[in-house]
Amino acid sequence: MPTRAEKFAGLSVAIVTPFRDGKIDYARLREQVEFQARAGVKCLCPVGTTGESPTLSHEEHERVIAETIDAAAGRVLVMPGTGSNSTAEAVRLTKYAAKAGADAALVVGPYYNRPTQQGIYEHFKAIAESVEIPICVYNIPTRTGRNIEPETIVRLADLPGIAMVKEATGSMDQASQILAATDLTVLSGDDSMTLPLLAIGGRGVISVVANLVPADMKALIDAFDAGDLAKARELHGRLFTLCRDLLGLASNPIPIKAAMAMLGRDTGDVRLPLVPLEPALADRLHRVLRDYGLPA
């Protein structure tokens, strides 16, 4: 059965924010958008976890949204991160994204202040009712310190503005409960969990590894949708080690930025408090890229 936001089914890419000498490199940002548009991805997600949103100023955050939408030029959907642990700030950012022409907003659960489930519900309700673009609930409790319980997401599904879930809990039980009780479009928030989530009714992924190999992740989803499970499993097996190490060697986006530099697509440094990948881990990442067949 079709889900609520089928237009976002498939491959979305959580793109990095390039820095140069401490400032955002907007020319390189536009190059990243062009790379993904030519690869035929469905949607771009700037200023999320991978885009280092916690260290962007409000002005920078807004300009990255605007530059991405302008560079995409309607060729791909754009769903920027607009979440905050302040409901008022999340509403403001989401309104900005909508006015700038975003197709949807990716809103992470409130972090650090650890609201109750009722507080989480009211937070997302306020955001969803403030704009007309669809909202994707981003549930990543390892970063926020609070799971958005499936019962809360089921309640949120009663709101017309809530259309998607970026599922990054790692729990197939939680995902299954949401899929069984709602028509929300569920997208994987973990690259290595893409195939398992598709198997229970998920509709795609918001990917980090696709910063490097969008064609391969797209091929996995396409193979599954075409019913070629053997091909999908083959691609899952091939992608697994790359996905694991890009998200496991250090906090995202440290490894993905290191990998892009190794492949000649340098996006600059990470911003403090993140620091570059240490040499021993960089050597391991080199080997992983070479073993995958990438010219690192």
The 10s digit of each residue's pLDDT in 219-274 is 999 999 999 999 999 999 999 999 998 889 999 999 999 999 999 998 999 999 99
Strands 19-20 and 23-24: antiparallel
Task: Tell me the residue type at 263.
Answer: L
**pTM for this entry:** 0.97
191 DSSP 8-state letter: G
Q: What percent of the chain has pLDDT over 70?
A: 100
Give the C-alpha separation, 88 to 127, whole Å.
9
Q: Which of 42, 96, 125, 166 is catalytic?
A: 166
Is the Cα torsion angle 53, 58, 61, 64 positive or negative in sign? Answer: negative
Q: Give SS3 for 121.
A: helix
Q: What is the pLDDT of residue 1?
A: 73
Confidence of residue 135 (pLDDT cuts 50, 70, 90): very high
Q: Which region, left, alpha or beta, applies to residue 275 given φ > 0 means left and ψ of -120 to 50 means alpha? A: beta
CATH 3.20.20.70 fits 6-228, yes or no: yes
Q: pLDDT of 158-209, one tens digit each?
A: 999 999 999 999 999 999 999 999 999 999 999 999 999 999 999 999 999 9
Does residue 82 carry a pLDDT above 90? yes
Does residue 111 carry a catalytic annotation?
A: no
SS3 228: coil
CA-closest candidate to residue 191, choices 139, 239, 259: 239
Q: Could you give the count of Cα atoms lying within 13 Å of 165 in the half-sphere of its Cβ? A: 29
To the nearest whole number, what is the mean pLDDT of the chain? 97
pLDDT at 111: 96
Predicted local confidence at residue 175, as pLDDT: 98
Question: Which residue among 26, 96, 138, 292 is the active-site one?
Answer: 138
Query: Would residue 96 show up in a list of annotated catalytic residues for this protein?
Result: no
